[in-house]
Amino acid sequence: MQASNLPCYLSVPYEKFEEMCAVDVSKFTCQDQKGLTYLSWQGATYLLKKYFPTLAFDLERSPDGTPIHTVASEANSGYVLIRLVDTATGLCTPSHFFPCYKAFGAIANPTSYHYNTAIVRGFARLVAITTGLGFKLYMGDDSDIQEVSGGTTTKAPAAKAPAYVRKPAANIPGIDY
């Protein structure tokens, strides 16, 4: 049997993903200006270390070792490439693009602050996408995720948004507020 030339990617088994989708992450959420509930980057960090201690956040890097963050020439808006790496196996997720944006659209000529914000937003989403932790928060957000039940396809209900908070409702051990 020949070895495949396809890359080996980090993947959480379906059963584990489903289990993590059921974890209550409500005390680690915030709301944005549009009223959408999201997983805070502090909460994503805590949950990732609690349930997946060997996974670490990484930025995609160019051959010279610098993180890849680019300004898209068409709109002068930037993006970053983010992935998770398993420190035990060396496997990583495919890189995901995350744009520099505000609540109402892309940011023209982003600064280092905008890139940093894109990194932490992207990290929290990548944790949800990869592990299932907080995934249900994003259902109905900006996608048309659908569930199939008994042969009928329906739009998945959006997660119920808690009252507006600027930081997680509970302190996360080891994080100063």
Render pLDDT for 22-65 as a digit per residue (tens, 0 to 9). 999 999 998 877 777 889 999 999 999 999 999 998 988 878 88
How many domains does the chain divide into? 1
80 in any annotated domain: yes
Residue 47 lies in a domain: yes
Expressed as residue numbers, the domain containing 55 is 27-155
113 vs 120: CA distance, rounded Å: 11
Q: What is the pLDDT of residues 132-174, one digit of tens each?
A: 999 988 876 444 434 444 444 444 444 443 333 334 444 545 4
Q: To which residue do tokens 């929290």 refer?
A: 124
Strands (E), 69-115: 69-72, 77-86, 96-99, 101-102, 105-106
Residue 169 lies in a domain: no
**Degrees, nearest 5: CA angle 4-10-15:** 110
Q: What is the reported pLDDT for 24?
A: 94
| Residue 76 structure tokens | 């002068």
Give the residue, 174 or 121, on which the prediction is more confident: 121
User: pTM, whole model, 2 decimals?
Assistant: 0.70
Q: Is residue 114 part of a domain?
A: yes
Read off the pLDDT band of 71 (50, 70, 90): low
Task: Tell me the pairing of strands 152-155 and 146-149.
Answer: antiparallel
pLDDT of residue 101: 80
pLDDT at 74: 56
**Domain membership flag for residue 9:** no
Domain containing 75 — which CATH number?
3.30.390
> Which distant-in-sequence residues (6+ apart) come within 8 Å of 41 by Cβ?
120, 121, 123, 124
Instruction: Give the separation between CA 113 and CA 148, rounded to whole angstroms.
Output: 41
Residue 22, pLDDT score: 93
pLDDT of residue 25: 94
